[in-house]
A and B are shown apart, each in its own frame.
Chain A
Amino acid sequence: MKKHILIVDDEVTIRELLTGYLTANGYRVTAASSVHEAIRLADKELPDLLISDLQLEDGDGFEIIERVKSKQPDLPVILLTGVLFDAEVVEQVIRNMVNLYLEKTTPLAKIGESIKELLGEKTN
């Protein structure tokens, strides 16, 4: 059965490109553009992995992460954002909430490999 990934980003280009890439690589993808929509989708069906932007129109990605992790604490989470974080902040604050922090300039192939690792799939 295909693994389910939930993508949350307010940029339509990011959502479309990520959905296209992950679907071509054999994943089932649902996408949300806001915190509210993402929570609704997560409540309907918990994903196997969450990829979220930090800055969204109606809130930030941490709200979604907290909500989803309250139901599934070991859910893998990738924070994909254009905001730069200090390494120390990432280590101390975000590490408890997210498994991986990636910038939006990260190549898709690298994002794909990271997803495979987090889902425990074999990588090339």
Chain B
Amino acid sequence: MNDTTLRRILLFFLFVLIVLVAIAVISVRTIGRSTETNDWVNHTHAVIDRIDQALNAQLRAQATMRAYTATGEEADLQTFIDASSDLIGSMELANALTRRETETNTKVVEITALVEKRVDAMRQIITAKQTGDSTGLRAQLMAFTTDSTGNEIQRRLMQLKETQLEILSDRDSEFYVYAHSTRWIIWTGVVVNFLLLAGAGLLLRDNFAARRRAANALAEANAQLETKVRERTAELVAANEKLSLENIERQWANQALEHQLHYNYSIVDSISDLVIVLTKTGTITRVNTATLRLTGRATADLIKQPYSHVVRFPDEKTIDPVLAAMKEGRDLRDQNVIITSLQGETTAKLSLYPLRDQNKVIGGIITLQTKAS
């Protein structure tokens, strides 16, 4: 895989990871916020519940107080006591629940003060009834009735309740939006991740396809190379075989030549006459065995010597007849000569035959016939 593709794939997976982490964080935050909101909602409902209880208790306390003042029944008195306890208790609970909410708590405290004042007033009325002070009772009842504290308490409690309900509604809407947007973010993240993974998959597919193509091309190139190598090897083998055959034929021609040469030497050496080969200037180049035998000399002693070293004419000649004949390209037949050897001198008949190469005289061949040969 080349570097660019690898980098792209790593980048894709990095993005996938980032999106996954973001989704995880958002999900955790949403869960946390949901729990928090849930707690807050429960708390707010508890406060509203306490407010409702306080409202209810106040009405019950007032009603049972009036009933007791009218009937003097113990049951009404007990009911009043329960209701007033409920009222005080509800306000205390509301105070406790709203301790961390400064504004709300301030209102609750104010309402609690009014509630205590109202409950005191009602207790005084109850006491007046219990003591049989009908004048005082009537006056207190009148004052109680005209006192707006009860209405004020009710108004403030209702206001507080509405405030809490409004906040609840706002919070609920806010949470809905938050949850909805979170849902969208998560789904978008999932889709983006899916697309990124699909992209990575496509890159990988393309890369594998490219690698397959490259491998096929390489295999084809290798096959072609192998074919070429085989062909070339076959050519070389054939050329080598041809060279070997040519070499054998050349060697055979050489041995044939050697055989022919050997045969020629045999022919010359078989002649009993002396045979001496001369250059145009009369220098000896070859002698046969008969010459060596008769002169008693070795080949090395005769080669490169003038022929007069071995042969001389009995008469002094002004012109050497052998050299003259070679120069003129004519034969000499049966000339009387004397052969000089280590054993002495021997008379012989000399004949000369010019040696020709392409019609040009290059030397001569002397034959010497003694009486014995």
Q: Which residues of A contact B (CB under 8 A)?
A: 11, 13-14, 17, 20-21, 24, 82, 104-109
Contacts and interface: CB of A to CB of B under 8 A. Distances in A.
B11 interface: no
B248 A105 contact: no
Contact of A13 (B245, B253, B255): B255
Contacts of B253: 107
B252 A21 contact: yes
B256 A105 contact: yes
B244 A82 contact: no
Interface of B: 241, 244-245, 248-249, 251-253, 255-257, 259-260, 263
Contacts of B245: 21, 24
A105 B263 CA distance: 11
A63 B248 CA distance: 29
B263 A17 contact: no
A21 B251 CA distance: 11
Nearest to B254: A13
B251 to A, nearest CB: 6
The 6 A-B pairs of least Cβ separation, nearest first, read A105-B256, A108-B252, A20-B248, A21-B248, A17-B252, A108-B249
A24 B242 CA distance: 9
B248 A24 contact: yes
Contact of B249 (A82, A104, A107): A107
Contacts of B249: 21, 107-109
Contacts of A14: 255
A50 B256 CA distance: 20
B236 to A, nearest CB: 16
Given A17-B251, A17-B252, A105 B244 contact: no
B253 to A, nearest CB: 7
Contacts of B252: 17, 21, 107-108
B270 to A, nearest CB: 13
Given A24-B245, A105-B257, 8 more contacts: A17-B251, A17-B252, A17-B255, A21-B252, A24-B244, A24-B248, A108-B248, A109-B249
Contacts of A11: 255
Contacts of A108: 248-249, 252
A104 B255 contact: yes
